Amino acid sequence: MSSNRSPMEGMFIAVTGPSGSGKTSICKALLETFPHLRFSVSLTTRQPRPAETDGKDYHFFTVDEFTRRVRAGEFIETASVHDHLYGTLRAPVDEALAAGRDVLLNIDTQGSRSVKALFPDCARVFILPPSWKVLEERLRARAQDGEEVIARRLANARGEVARLPEYDFAVVNDLLE
Ligand code: 5GP
């Protein structure tokens, strides 16, 4: 992934965007459309949501186990997002890239920066909602988080969008299709 990367190796596509921007749906659609893409399943210490499957959407871990793996050097990057820990595992990603697969990451702004610093060829994409109003409506419509969580996610979104100029691509997600 550095400048001496073999042309046969895959590359990173890092998708970032505020909670409610629709980036997870976009990642799912990309994976269905481009079968050569491999999704990097992150580790997280947050609780699974009802529709999520352990090992597919995330690997759900305790803080102790997550911290042990950090010390063991198992991550490319880690970040604390909305009071929970998230991280990208090194081994599955290395394996996919070496096999010539492009790897799709769904990560926050901190993780996106870390990956870019390590792998400058990484393509960074920022997903934007059409407006702040729509973002708030989407977060409420999900009805999976309480008021306090929604308010925190909206506040965090302002900080995330401020980093938009760093990105290679910006996509306004008004209609998923
Ligand atoms: P959620 O809890 O809503 O699934 O994700 C919260 C945030 O964490 C999202 O911005 C998501 O992109 C980010 N995220 C998920 N996995 C990782 C990861 O492995 N590393 C980093 N840095 N952020 C992640």
Residue among 82, 85, 107 whose CB has most ligand 1 atoms within 8 A, to mutate: 107
* Arithmetic mean of pLDDT, 4-21: 86
- Count the Cβ atoms, other than its own, within 10 Å of residue 86: 23
Ligand 1 atom having least distance to the Cα of 114: 22
Backbone angles phi, psi at 158, to 5 degrees: -60, -45
pTM for this entry: 0.91
> Tens digit of pLDDT for each residue in 48-100?
998 899 999 999 999 999 999 999 999 999 999 878 999 999 999 999 999 99
Where on the phi/psi map is residue 82: left (φ > 0), alpha (ψ -120 to 50), or beta?
Answer: left
C-beta of residue 104 within 8 angstroms of C-beta of residue 13: yes
H helical segments located in the chain: 23-33, 63-71, 90-98, 109-118, 132-142, 147-161
